Amino acid sequence: MASILQSAFTYSTSLSFICNCSKRNSFRVRCNVIEPLKYDNGPPCISILNNNLLDSKFHLGNTMIKNDTRLRIFSGTANPALSQEISCYMGLDLGKIKIKRFADGEIYVQLQESVRGCHVFLVQPSCPPANENIMELLVMIDACRRASAKNITAVIPYFGYARADRKTQGRESIAAKLVANLITEAGANRVLACDLHSGQSMGYFDIPVDHVYGQPVILDYLASKAISSDDLVVVSPDVGGVARARAFAKKLSDAPLAIVDKRRQGHNVAEVMNLIGDVKGKVAVMVDDMIDTAGTISKGAALLHQEGAREVYACSTHAVFSPPAIERLSSGLFQEVIITNTIPVSERNYFPQLTILSVANLLGETIWRVHDDCSDGYEPYSSLGID
C-alpha cells in the first residue's frame, strides 16, 4: 500500500495539547488552555488519529514564533476543539473572546484582547445549527472590524448552504451566494474553506477564497491500510461527484473508477438505479464531500455488495450526520467510515466503524502561509489546493 501514495505528506497530530511544533529543530511548545468557551451547541468530542500529513519543516525559516503579535486566532462556539488543535499546531494561544446568548436568543460577542492592526483568523464552521453558527460568525467578524483589525479571515472548515449553489427549478433561492454576501458585507477580507461542495461557490465571494482539500488527510490514512492497490476501486456515490472521485483515484495509484447512478426523488431522498464499472471481488472506497442523512452512500454501498464488492469503505470530509445517518452507517454495510473533524461529532454518535481524522495541521499550515503571504514555489503548500 506504500506505493499507493508516492507523494503522501507527513503530518502529526496529538490528542493532548502538547504538540511537536518543529521536528527539524526538536523543540516543543506547550499550548496554554484558556478559559473554556461557554457554548450552547453541545460539547465536541473528537477522536484524533496519529497521522502524518504535514511536517513542520515546511514552515518558512523562523516565521513560526509563538508570540507573533500580528496574528490572532479566535474560536467560535461551533467547534472549539478543532480551533484549539489548530492553535496548538501553530504554537499560539487562542485569543480570548466572550460569546453568549441572551434570553431571547440574540448573540453577544466581545473580544477580550486588542486586535488593532492584527491579522485575525476566526474559526467557525457553519455546521448544525447552521443559522446560529453563521450569525455568530457574522457578529464575530463585525466585532473584529470595529476593533480595528487590519485583516479578517473567516476560517470555515464546513461551509453550510453550499448545496444551494444553483437553481434546479423555478423560484428557488441561491442561498450559497446569499451567505457569501453576508460574510463579505460583515467585513471579512478573506475566506479559508475546506472541501466546498462545488467549486463555483468560490465565485460567490467578492473577496479572495483559499480552498483546501481534506483528501490528503484521508489518503494518508488509507496508505496505512494493508490493501493491495490491485484490489482497490474508487466509487463515486453519484454522477455529480465523479470529478472528486477521479482525482481521489489518481492519488491511489490511478485506481479504477466506478459510478453509482441514482435518481433523486426529493431533498434528502435518493434512489439507486445501477452501477457503472466493475467492483466484483474488490475493495470499494466510496468518496464524497459530506455525509448528511447517509441515504445516498448507504444505498450505494448496498448496491456495491450486491455487485460482489468484498469490502466497502466510506470516506468523507464533512460528517453532518443528520438522522438517521448513524443507524444507516452502523448497519454493517461499511468496513469503515472515515471522516474528518471539520464538524464536531458528539460521543453519542460514535459507532465501532467510525474513524475521525484531524485537519488541524492542514488548516494550521494554511493559516501560516496566508499570514506570511506566500504560496508559489512551495510544493507542500501548493499541493494543498490553494491558488
One domain, residues 117 and 248: no
Residue 160 lies in a domain: yes
Residue 52 lies in a domain: no
One domain, residues 159 and 206: yes
- The tens digit of pLDDT for each residue in 244-290 reads 999 999 999 899 999 998 776 666 665 757 899 999 999 999 999 99
Residues facing residue 261 across a β-bridge = 274
Residue 58 lies in a domain: no
- The tens digit of pLDDT for each residue in 216-229 reads 999 999 988 888 88
Q: Is 26 helix (H, G, I), strand (E, B) or coil?
A: coil
Taking residues 301-319, report their average pLDDT: 96
Residue 296 lies in a domain: yes
Report the pLDDT value the prediction gives residue 228, as an integer from 0 to 100. 86
For the chain, the domain total comes to 2
The 8-class DSSP code of residue 57 comes to: G
One domain, residues 100 and 203: yes
Residue 34 lies in a domain: no
Check which CATH number belongs to the domain holding 85 and give it.
3.40.50.2020
One domain, residues 186 and 241: no
Q: Which helix (H) or strand (E) holds 122?
A: strand 119-123
Cα-Cα-Cα-Cα dihedral of 211, 334, 9, 342, to 10°?
40
Q: Cell match 468484498: residue? A: 310
Residue 57 lies in a domain: no
Residues facing residue 73 across a β-bridge = 121
One domain, residues 196 and 222: no
Q: How far apart are CA 353 and CA 319, in angstroms?
A: 14
One domain, residues 236 and 334: yes
Residue 60 lies in a domain: no
One domain, residues 267 and 199: no
One domain, residues 78 and 203: yes
One domain, residues 182 and 119: yes
Instruction: Output the nine-digit C-alpha cell for 245.
Output: 472521485
Report the pLDDT value the prediction gives residue 200, as an integer from 0 to 100. 79
One domain, residues 202 and 221: no
pLDDT value at 29 more than 80: no
Report the pLDDT value the prediction gives residue 270, as an integer from 0 to 100. 57
Cis omega before residue 324 (within 30°)? yes
One domain, residues 208 and 259: no
Backbone angles phi, psi at 115, to 5 degrees: -125, 15
Q: What is the mean pLDDT of the chain?
A: 82
- The tens digit of pLDDT for each residue in 317-373 reads 999 999 999 999 999 999 999 999 999 999 999 999 999 999 999 999 999 999 988
pLDDT value at 7 more than 80: no
Residue 103 lies in a domain: yes
What amino acid is encoded at 9 in this protein? F
What region, left, alpha or beta, does residue 171 occupy, with left being phi > 0 and alpha being psi -120 to 50 degrees? left
Whether the full predicted model's pTM is greater than 0.85, yes or no, is no
One domain, residues 223 and 337: yes
Q: Which domain covers residue 182, as residue numbers?
A: 71-167+174-212+363-375
Task: Quickly state the pLDDT bin for 308 (edges 50, 70, 90).
Answer: very high
Residue pair 271/303 in contact by the 8 Å Cβ criterion: no
pLDDT value at 38 more than 70: no
